[in-house]
Amino acid sequence: MITLDIAGQRLEAEEGSNLGELFKRSYPQGFKEGVAAKLNGRVVDFMTPLRESGSLELIPVDSPEGLAVLRHSTAHLMASAVMKLFPEAKLAIGPAIEDGFYYDFDVDRPFSPEDLAAIEKGMHDIAQEDHAFVRGELKRDEALDRFKKQGEKYKAELVEGLPDPSVSTYTHSFFTDLCRGPHVTKTRFLKHFKLTSVAGAYWRGDSNRPMLQRIYGTAFPTQKQLEEHLQRIEEAKLRDHRRVGAALDLYSVHEEAGGGLIFWHPHGAAIRRTVEDFWKAEHLRRGYTLVYTPHIALVDLWKQSGHTEHYAQNMYFLKVDEKDYVLKPMNCPFHVLIYKGKKHSYRELPVRIGELGTVYRFERSGVLHGLARVRGFTQDDAHIFCTAEQVEGELRGVLDFTRFMLATFGFQHFKVELSVRDPKRKEDYLGSDAEWELAEGALERVVKESGLPYKRAEGEAVFYGPKIDIKIGDALGRDWQCSTIQFDFNLPRRFEVSYVGSDGQEHPAYMVHRALLGSLERFFATLIEHYGGDFPVWLAPVQVQLITIADAQVPYAAEIKELLLSKGIRVEADVREEKMGAKIRDAEMLKIPYMLILGRKELEERSVSVRSRKKGNEGALGLQAFVEKLVAEIESRQ
């Protein structure tokens, strides 16, 4: 006999009885709403035979687990529609993923958009026939035999890799799939889905194995949710930094120069310069010293830092004049050398050394992605050297600084993840218990005090120290990894980083790495997608576009341009012999915040007609008045 607790009720059932039947009897409303259940914390479907006692709860369809069941079941439905249309196709795997599902097929030719439409239609037809998902069990050898006979070589390989003596299958209509579950009970629950794309994918991600065709799709409990999701995908496509970057001529990548290496064009560079100037000014204001360090260093330095041991697969090595150099993958050892250039008294601490330091790290070409994943990038890096007593204050300062910076760039939503060591494996970490306790305690207190939502990730810390990562939410509600504050108990030991205490003795210093924006390249991608290329005036690559109506105003335009340039305003003049309407449209395409229309009247009155991107036509304004207003707006960084 099996005893179950369901929604406060205690229930007895025969071993092997069907979970769905049990649910229907004891909790009919829940059965109607639910897609699956959780038995002792594990997700199971209603077709699962009962084999253990414990607590059973219902999974609502819009919970992450419920959505995964819905989406994975839709993957089965898709596979059945594919098999109907392409009986020769061989099946690989079809899991639920974040935001949807996919299924991999071995087919003679890639699927076309027309194929996807036909498959989607087939899915709806099969779903409406309302087949039940029927769970079956086969002995491992039987399953192997059956898949081999059917020519399903991928399924056979999967079974071969399973240790279990028996495997479960799920069948709806004519279609049977090897699967552990869970699934919805009937195909009619699968209504609101969409196939979104198709791409090549190697079997088991191995480029030596066959290339399969992966169809991606998504499913939701309601049509409204599905449509909203599809709209978000469209919006994300429109904002894709690679698309916007090309349309606004912000940056490029050249295969002849190498993948993952970014060329910042004048308009992209203007934004970067603005970010850098702001970054430097704020660092100086907050007591950092700024440095520049070389791009290469002898391999011996990287041996001492431990990078050749732990990081070699990401490093570029150079041999010149019989000496081995490394293109720097990190700035840290360089800042340590600067710190160690002289003795530091406790009175001088904390020392905060910052640099916009360009580093190079090898990444496989398959993972490179626009500005977001590159091989050469500039970190907004800094290293803080301080005493134990100063740790908490420094962390508080860094977190406050981070929020200030990110809020200035228009980000309001933050999520913090605190990575601490696994308390059961303390011996695997470098540094003393006292150091770890101090660092983790200070990080957690500071994060708590900030009121930001945070998650404590046990065992996620790297071996040399705990850290916090800060993710920012953009205009579409997507998260971007941005800031990191990381303790290091490794480098100070390897380089004997110390200070002279009030007792006249040398003491090891605490060392914290921190990057507020992460890398300028990745942060630029975030900015582009957050604003969709429609930057606020202080960041806009061109802040003012001058538009002449006739040749008579060209000298006036030149005069205004010179005046604005002298105020540090980024201005361009469109003096082509085009119609005013065409010039306005072109400036709108470039999302320029202000257009100044210069005609006969403006020239006579020494005024400008202002067209603001945000507010539309603002009418005529004296030249000086406009300049003052604009300078104030830029300084406000709004």
Nearest approach, Cβ of 513 to Zn ion (angstroms)?
A: 3
Nearest approach, Cβ of 10 to Zn ion (angstroms)?
A: 31
Q: Which residues contact 243 (CB under 8 A, 6 or more apart)?
A: 237
DSSP class of residue 345 equals B
Q: Which is nearer to Zn ion, 513 or 583 (CB)?
A: 513
Q: Which is nearer to Zn ion, 332 or 384 (CB)?
A: 332
Backbone angles phi, psi at 238, to 5 degrees: -65, -35
CA dihedral (253, 254, 257, 259) in degrees, to 10, reads 60
Q: Which is nearer to Zn ion, 332 or 520 (CB)?
A: 332
Of 213, 379, 390, 553, the active-site residue reads 379
Q: Any catalytic annotation for residue 379?
A: yes
3-state secondary structure of 289: strand
Of 513, 514, 522, 591, the active-site residue reads 513
> What does the alpha-carbon distance between residue 5 and residue 53 come to, in Å, rounded to a whole number?
9
Nearest approach, Cβ of 332 to Zn ion (angstroms)?
A: 3
Of 45, 104, 177, 381, the active-site residue reads 381
> Would you tell me which residues interact with Zn ion (CB under 5 A)?
179, 332, 513
Of 183, 194, 241, 383, the active-site residue reads 383
Of 76, 467, 530, 611, the active-site residue reads 467
> What does the alpha-carbon distance between residue 153 and residue 229 come to, in Å, rounded to a whole number?
35
Q: Is the dihedral of CA 335, 340, 343, 349 positive or negative?
A: positive
Write a three-state SS string for 135-185.
EEEEEHHHHHHHHHHCCCHHHHHHHHCCCCCEEEEEEECCEEEECCCCCCC
Residue corresponding to tokens 């060591």: 421
Q: Which is nearer to Zn ion, 250 or 359 (CB)?
A: 359
Q: Any catalytic annotation for residue 241?
A: no
Nearest approach, Cβ of 202 to Zn ion (angstroms)?
A: 22
Nearest approach, Cβ of 73 to Zn ion (angstroms)?
A: 7
Q: Which CA distances in Å does 308 have to 251, 318, 323?
A: 32, 13, 15
Nearest approach, Cβ of 258 to Zn ion (angstroms)?
A: 25
> What does the alpha-carbon distance between residue 139 and residue 70 come to, in Å, rounded to a whole number?
27
Q: Which is nearer to Zn ion, 467 or 530 (CB)?
A: 467
Q: Are strands 506-508 and 498-500 parallel, antiparallel or unpaired?
A: antiparallel
Neighbouring-strand partners of residue 377: 359
Q: Which is nearer to Zn ion, 245 or 465 (CB)?
A: 465
Nearest approach, Cβ of 397 to Zn ion (angstroms)?
A: 17
Q: Which CA distances in Å does 289 have to 353, 356, 383, 406, 516?
A: 5, 12, 10, 21, 16
Q: Any catalytic annotation for residue 381?
A: yes
> What does the alpha-carbon distance between residue 377 and residue 373 come to, in Å, rounded to a whole number?
9
Q: Any catalytic annotation for residue 343?
A: no
Please check whether residue 282 is in contact with residue 405, taking contact to mean a CB–CB distance below 8 angstroms.
yes
Q: Which is nearer to Zn ion, 332 or 575 (CB)?
A: 332
Nearest approach, Cβ of 558 to Zn ion (angstroms)?
A: 48
Q: Any catalytic annotation for residue 172?
A: no
DSSP class of residue 334 equals H
Of 179, 332, 386, 482, the active-site residue reads 332
Q: Which two tokens stand for residue 23?
A: 């649910």
Nearest approach, Cβ of 155 to Zn ion (angstroms)?
A: 12
Closest CA to 318 of 339, 302, 306: 302
Longest dimension (CA), the chain: 97
Q: DSSP readout, 492-518?
A: HHHHT-EEE-TTS-EEEPEEEEEEEEE
> What does the alpha-carbon distance between residue 514 and residue 485 come to, in Å, rounded to a whole number?
4
Q: Which is nearer to Zn ion, 305 or 553 (CB)?
A: 305
Q: Which two tokens stand for residue 256?
A: 């002849």
Q: Which is nearer to Zn ion, 6 or 190 (CB)?
A: 190
Residues tagged active-site? 332, 361, 379, 381, 383, 467, 513
